[in-house]
Homo-oligomer: A and B are copies of this chain.
Amino acid sequence: MLANDRLIRAIFRQKLDRTPVWMMRQAGRYLPEYREVRKKAGDFLSLCKNPELACQVTLQPIERFPLDAAIIFSDILTIPDAFGLDLQFVEGEGPCFNNPIRTSQAITSLPHIIPELELAYVMDAIRMAKQALGNKLPLIGFAGSPWTLACYMIEGSTSKNFNEIKRFLYRDPVLLHQLLSHLSHATTDYLNAQIAAGVDVLMIFDTWGGLLSRSHYLEFSLRYMQEIIQGLKPAEKKQKVPVILFTKNSGLHLEEISRTACDAIGLDWMTDLREARQKVGNRVALQGNLDPAALYAEPDIIKQSVKRILEEFGQGSGHIFNLGHGISPDVDPSHVAVMIEAVHEWSPAYHR
């Protein structure tokens, strides 16, 4: 049993004293103590692959702020890296694969990975973080969506329009489905390994599902996330681990997302929280959705922005306060404190 189970209770729409709060990328570059550890580790990927240091940075934000969850420090591209695509992070340019997918043969010969072995560094970091957390707070595990992983694997790096995978989708959908299916199985195994290692909640990040038309989103992205969720198994003698599903720019598809087996939907800041709640009804909880740029504002404006988000969701449980996207590296940590304080101060009024 967790001492602070607000996140879990909010996901299952159970009665609460106040709205739980955490932030996407809360263990990150905006924290000076993170930058210190990162310097020690070398590059970003070396930090992900060092369980001691990954555990250390996972705990940093919860040591500094009264947050309601920790999220394991890692990256969504660990799976393709384990496939042998050789991930690299070029400073200021984002992720890059030295061996991107360039032939159909590269897809049909993708290896089957055993996450407990090839991605042992993630499970080790999770076990360490769980031990350090004790029963204080929930630990969130995560993975990228098959579609989003495929975007990077085929493009080789980030891209404005991801034209390569779009071309592939229109020219060889059968082979693309084969790739997505392979990724879906690997991700299911990966998340089950994270469950076995002790995570309390899971999140699937679909950064690029919003590039797709409605019908393609359902066929090439949402379907595989649904398959993953259906393949998750609770750890022995434990409850089901709930899943938060986040597709950026998916405000038009919330009803469809809420009808998958997910337990909560992460919302970007472009989506009106009031309308979103109307669309999903009582089927799922909602997480979000402060504009990350609001943290650039002066404290008074930050407080007002928090208040507006709480007011948009309205009365009752089922809301997890978060940003609508990862926190920017150039945010002043004292502004984060203001945001969290405002959630603590204003949200109890919505739980009476």
Contacts and interface: CB of A to CB of B under 8 A. Distances in A.
A251 interface: yes
A41 interface: no
A271 B293 contact: no
A170 B296 contact: yes
Interface string A304-345: 000000000000000000000000101000000000000000
Interface in A235-265: 249, 251-252
A351 to B, nearest CB: 24
A222 to B, nearest CB: 14
A270 B293 CA distance: 24
A166 interface: yes
A148 to B, nearest CB: 15
A39 interface: no
Contact of A293 (B167, B269, B275, B294): B167
Contacts of A272: 213-214, 252
Nearest to A293: B166
A217 B291 CA distance: 13
A190 to B, nearest CB: 27
B249 A169 contact: no
A76 interface: no
B171 A297 contact: yes
A301 B170 contact: yes
B291 A213 contact: yes
A163 interface: yes
A163 B328 contact: yes
Q: Which of A163, A213, A214, A269 has the largest count of B CB atoms less than 10 A from its CB?
A: A213
A108 to B, nearest CB: 22
A91 interface: no
A212 interface: yes
A214 B275 CA distance: 11
Contacts of A166: 291, 293, 296
A294 B251 contact: no
Given A170-B293, A170-B297, A296-B171, A269 B213 contact: yes
Nearest to A302: B170
B294 A170 contact: yes
Chain A to chain B: the 5 pairs with minimum beta-carbon distance, closest first: A166-B293, A170-B297, A167-B296, A214-B272, A251-B252
